[in-house]
Amino acid sequence: MNWRRMLALARKESIQIRRDWRSLAVVLLMPVMLMTLMGYGIALDQTDVPLCVYDREGSQLSQDLLKSFVSNRYFSLKLDARDYRQLVTAVDGGVCTVGVVVPLYFSKLLNAGRPATVQAVIDATDNNTANLIIGYTQAVVARFSAAVQLDYQQRRGPALGAPSLGLQARTWFNEDLESRNFIVPGVVALVMAVIGTFLTSLTIAREWERGTMEQLVSTPVTAAEVIAGKLIPYFVIGMTDAATCAAISGWWFEVPFRGSVMTLFVSSAVFLIGVLLLGFLISALSRTQLAASQFALLTTFLPAFLLSGFAFPIDQMPIAVRAVTRIFPARYYVTILKAVFLKGTGIEPLFAPMLAMALFAAAVGVGAVRGFKKTLD
Amino acid sequence: MPDESWAVVVEGLVKDFPPVRAVDHLSFRVSAGEIFGLVGPDGAGKTTTMRVLAGVMAPDEGSAVVCGCDVVRDPEAVKQHISYMPQRFGLYEDLTVSENIRFYADLFGISRRQREQAAARLLAACGMSEFSGRLAGKLSGGMKQKLGLVCALIHTPRLLLLDEPTNGVDPLSRREFWAMLYELAAQGVTIVNSTAYLDEAERCHRVALMHRGRLLFCDQPQRLKQRLPGAVIAVVSPIAARLREELAHADGVHSVLLIGDALHLFVDDAARRIPQISRALDAKGLFYDEVVRITPTIEDLFVNAVTAQEPH
């Protein structure tokens, strides 16, 4: 490795990037666009679920229950049904996703200290949403039930009733179970994988297409010098993009940041070098920009989306697929980002995923250097 | 031991681009300090040969030793000693003249002081001093080629490989370009250049005529002309194209070549055929200015050699 030749490449590439300011602007604005698009587009929370109620009793207590449904951000009342048929029509027609029916004798049963049942009719066409809604509905009813029980016991004096055993679950790291806190780090990894590979996937193919490579390969420059030299300016751009992503996550999406900036910086750098080198590998193997860009998208977006644990939990994948996820660095980067943002984990516990990303970078780097041929065919 | 007096030794070079054999058992030698021309029409295999010599393309068979380095076994070794200017402009159009020069100087490890001196001298020599800040993409065709030459010469190579360097260059720039080449040769730089222009071939010390990947002749331009069997006579006439039909099958005429307003006739014996042809044209009342014996050009030689190889 000759430093002067490598720096000459870095310098040349930087000048070319600066001259092509339109592409530079696109590359710098891409994280803003992708983060916004995916940060809002992929929200797993359900708020303002359209609700239909049918109160068969019409007592103070039944109204209190229905009020507690409406008084939070998860449900919004769309219809107060007059009969059961109206409620069914609303759910069938998709006007409401959930219908809550309060039975007759609701307050009488409760006041008598006997259990009463509330019915919820849920549109489960989208089973994921249905599961969320069941959870919300149960939570509202459980809270209401606890209040009723307390009230009943206070009126009856010290309890003779059965001691109740309850689970007090504390959700750590994402106390509000805000799905955005969990998604945004995944989006950052996705955006960085796509941008990183995209940045470099065109550079070598472009030189072959423009004919500048023929003269370059007739000089003593080596494959390693070409790749390392070209890597430097794209690394700077990629790290700027990483900083933009982190800033958007923290300030715009208000994902708590509990770790150290240093850990974030080091892990992002290792991940970025890996995906930039992947871009070089693709670029070295395909001599047209079109082929390179398509291949880059295929090898980054899909694995980063499907196999990183971002969209689907890795633990629930079949064993064979789980093994495949280990190849892709996005998986490790998502793990690290979640740890750094939400848990505030230091750098030591993250040694294993960091090493995995470094190994990926090394393997792809060797592949890119080997794949870069200084000959025309 | 490689023989130092030869800058290039090519033996039995073969390169296939199925179904075409681009270079077919090509052998030639170039001595140090020579201006050597690879001459032939498009598709003759010139570019492929240049690429093999530059170490950017591996041949299928044969050997090529350039500046004492075997470019087939170790193509990287030669790269410090040569400069290769591909047929297609190989510099960065979005870099300025001086940025391109600096890039190539850095690749060859030229110090800043050496670079500045050499760049000033070379740019002045080709009349481009005031363009150092211009983007290479904004230069004219001739200036692009001259910039290519400046970048190629920034590290004083032992061998300069120029693939059709004057293609699409105006005559004035072409003359300047050749003046630079002669000066370089005088300094001991070996130059191999390819061209499809036969008039340009005559400027070389020695030429190799190539056709369909094969070597037809390899000699000094003057000696090549002497090799032509018989003689060439020119019929100058404003209706030369029409006369071609008349004279193609005349006695003693091997082949006919139309160049501008003249027909070049390859004949067995000039002294006998000149009066015969004049009489024949007079008899038919076809107008002509003159019928004279001329010194054959490389083009004449080439056409004759190709037609001799491929009988109609």
Report chain A residues whose CB lies below 8 A from the CB of B58: 375
C-alpha span between A59 and A63 (Å, rounded): 6
Residue A323, both tokens: 């093994």
Q: Quick one: average pLDDT of A182-189?
A: 85
Q: Is B157 on the interface with A (CB under 8 A)?
A: no
B99 contacts A375? CB cut-off 8 A:
no
Report chain A residues whose CB lies below 8 A from the CB of B97: none
Q: Which domains does chain A have, with CATH numbers?
A: 9-43+178-371 (no CATH), 49-156 (3.40.1710.10)
**Residues 184-223 of chain A whose Cβ lies under 8 A from any Cβ of chain B:** 210-212, 214-222
Identity of the residue in A4, A19, A211 whose CB atom sits nearest the CB atom of B90: A211
Which pLDDT belongs to residue A289? 83
Q: Quick one: average pLDDT of A63-67?
A: 90
Residues β-bridged to residue B9: B29, B65
Which pLDDT belongs to residue A367? 95
Question: What sign has the CA pseudo-torsion A329, A331, A336, A338?
Answer: positive
Q: Quick one: average pLDDT of A198-208?
A: 88
Q: Is B18 on the interface with A (CB under 8 A)?
A: no
Report chain A residues whose CB lies below 8 A from the CB of B92: 12, 16, 212
B85 contacts A16? CB cut-off 8 A:
no
Amino acid at A189: A
**Residues 252-281 of chain A whose Cβ lies under 8 A from any Cβ of chain B:** none
Report chain A residues whose CB lies below 8 A from the CB of B76: 220, 222, 374
Amino acid at B177: F
Strands, E assignment, A20-154: 49-55, 75-80, 98-102, 119-122
Better-scored residue on pLDDT, B179 or B225: B179
CA A215 to chain centre: 44
Closest CA to A238 of A31, A92, A21: A31
Q: Which domains does chain B have, with CATH numbers?
A: 6-224 (3.40.50.300), 229-295 (3.30.70)
At A249 the three-state DSSP class reads helix
Complex ipTM, two decimals? Answer: 0.83
B84 contacts A218? CB cut-off 8 A:
yes
Tell me the shortest Cα–Cα distance from B252 to chain A, in angstroms: 47
Q: Over 80: is that where the pLDDT of A58 sits?
A: yes
The percentage of residues in chain A with a pLDDT greater than 90, rounded to a whole number, is 34
Q: Over 60: is that where the pLDDT of A159 sits?
A: no
The percentage of residues in chain B with a pLDDT greater than 90, rounded to a whole number, is 50
- The B190-195 sheet, strands edge to edge: B82-85, B159-163, B190-195, B35-39, B206-211, B214-219
Q: Over 80: is that where the pLDDT of B3 sits?
A: no
Which pLDDT belongs to residue A40? 80
Question: What sign has the CA pseudo-torsion A49, A55, A60, A61?
Answer: negative
Describe the crossing of helices A203-210 and A261-285 by its angle, rounded to 10 degrees: 30
Q: Quick one: average pLDDT of A112-139?
A: 84
Report chain B residues whose CB lies below 8 A from the CB of A219: 79, 104, 107-108
Nearest CA in chain A to B99: A12
B95 contacts A16? CB cut-off 8 A:
yes
Which pLDDT belongs to residue B1? 45
Closest CA to B76 of A316, A2, A352: A2
Q: Is B138 on the interface with A (CB under 8 A)?
A: no
C-alpha span between A268 and A265 (Å, rounded): 5
Closest CA to A174 of A183, A161, A163: A183
Tell me the shortest Cα–Cα distance from B286 to chain A, in angstroms: 52
Better-scored residue on pLDDT, B75 or A166: B75
Nearest CA in chain A to B59: A377
CA B282 to chain centre: 40
CB B232 within 8 A of CB B265: yes
Identity of the residue in B58, B80, B104 whose CB atom sits nearest the CB atom of A375: B58
Which pLDDT belongs to residue A174? 64
Better-scored residue on pLDDT, A299 or A6: A6
- Name, in order, each residue with C-beta under 8 angstroms of A307's C-beta and a sequence gap of 6 or more: A314, A321, A324, A325, A328, A330, A331
Tell me the shortest Cα–Cα distance from A95 to chain B, in angstroms: 59
Q: Over 90: is that where the pLDDT of B64 sits?
A: yes
Q: Over 70: is that where the pLDDT of B301 sits?
A: yes
Report chain B residues whose CB lies below 8 A from the CB of A218: 54-56, 79, 82-84, 86, 161
Which pLDDT belongs to residue B85? 94
Q: Is B51 on the interface with A (CB under 8 A)?
A: yes
Q: Quick one: average pLDDT of B48-64?
A: 95
Which pLDDT belongs to residue A176? 62
Q: Is A11 on the interface with B (CB under 8 A)?
A: yes
Identity of the residue in B90, B104, B108 whose CB atom sits nearest the CB atom of A214: B90
Q: Quick one: average pLDDT of A166-189?
A: 73
A218 contacts B54? CB cut-off 8 A:
yes
Q: pLDDT band at A146, cuts 50/70/90?
A: confident
Rg of chain A over Cα atoms, rounded to whole angstroms, equals 28
Which pLDDT belongs to residue B204? 93
Better-scored residue on pLDDT, B265 or B136: B136
Q: How many CB pairs under 8 A join A and B?
A: 78
A162-166, A250-254, A369-373, B92-96: which is most confident: B92-96
Q: Is B89 on the interface with A (CB under 8 A)?
A: yes
Report chain A residues whose CB lies below 8 A from the CB of B54: 218
CB B213 within 8 A of CB B220: no
Q: Is B182 on the interface with A (CB under 8 A)?
A: no
SS3 for B227-245, per residue?
HCCCEEEEEECCCHHHHHH
Which pLDDT belongs to residue A181? 80
- Give the pLDDT confidence of B89-127 residue by residue, as tens digits: 899 999 999 999 999 999 999 999 999 999 999 999 888
- Name, in order, each residue with C-beta under 8 angstroms of B189's C-beta and a sequence gap of 6 or more: B33, B156, B157, B158, B159, B160
Closest CA to A293 of A284, A278, A305, A282: A282
Q: Is B128 on the interface with A (CB under 8 A)?
A: no
Q: Quick one: average pLDDT of A147-157?
A: 79
Which pLDDT belongs to residue A270? 96
User: Which of B56, B97, B164 has the most A C-beta neighbours within 10 Å, making it the best mutation to test the interface with A?
Assistant: B56
**Residues 331-360 of chain A whose Cβ lies under 8 A from any Cβ of chain B:** none
At A178 the three-state DSSP class reads coil
Average pLDDT for chain A: 87
Tell me the shortest Cα–Cα distance from A48 to chain B, in angstroms: 54
Q: Over 70: is that where the pLDDT of A86 sits?
A: yes
Q: Quick one: average pLDDT of B269-281?
A: 88
Which pLDDT belongs to residue A160? 54
Q: Is B241 on the interface with A (CB under 8 A)?
A: no
Q: Over 80: is that where the pLDDT of A128 sits?
A: no
Report DSSP letters for B95-146, one per residue.
SBHHHHHHHHHHHTT--HHHHHHHHHHHHHHTT-GGGTTSBGGGS-HHHHHH
Q: Quick one: average pLDDT of A20-36?
A: 91
Q: Is B80 on the interface with A (CB under 8 A)?
A: yes
Report chain B residues whose CB lies below 8 A from the CB of A21: none
Nearest CA in chain B to A206: B92
Better-scored residue on pLDDT, A374 or A271: A271
Better-scored residue on pLDDT, A341 or A155: A341
- Give the pLDDT confidence of B150-200 residue by residue, as tens digits: 999 999 899 999 999 888 788 888 888 888 899 999 999 999 999 887 778
Describe the crossing of helices B240-247 and B270-284 by its angle, rounded to 10 degrees: 110
Which pLDDT belongs to residue A165? 63
Which pLDDT belongs to residue B11? 95
Nearest CA in chain A to B18: A377
Pairing of strands A49-55, B61-66: unpaired
Strands, E assignment, A21-122: 49-55, 75-80, 98-102, 119-122
C-alpha span between A362 and A366 (Å, rounded): 6
Q: Over 70: is that where the pLDDT of B4 sits?
A: no
User: Which of A9, A20, A215 has the most B C-beta neighbours within 10 Å, making it the best mutation to test the interface with B?
Assistant: A215
C-alpha span between A248 and A31 (Å, rounded): 9
CB A195 within 8 A of CB A301: no
B56 contacts A214? CB cut-off 8 A:
yes
- Give the pLDDT confidence of B17-42 residue by residue, as tens digits: 998 999 999 999 999 999 999 998 88
C-alpha span between A293 and A201 (Å, rounded): 6
Which pLDDT belongs to residue A139? 85
Nearest CA in chain A to B137: A210
The percentage of residues in chain A with a pLDDT greater than 70, rounded to a whole number, is 93
Q: Over 80: is that where the pLDDT of B312 sits?
A: no
- Give the pLDDT confidence of A231-256 residue by residue, as tens digits: 999 999 999 999 999 999 989 988 88
Which pLDDT belongs to residue A229? 96
- Give the pLDDT confidence of A259-288 residue by residue, as tens digits: 899 999 999 999 999 999 999 999 888 878
Report chain B residues whose CB lies below 8 A from the CB of A214: 51, 56, 86, 88, 90
φ, ψ at A259 (rounded to 5°): -90, -165
Instruction: Tell me the CA distances in angstroms from A278 to A200, A283, A323, B6, one per residue in order.
Output: 8, 8, 20, 44
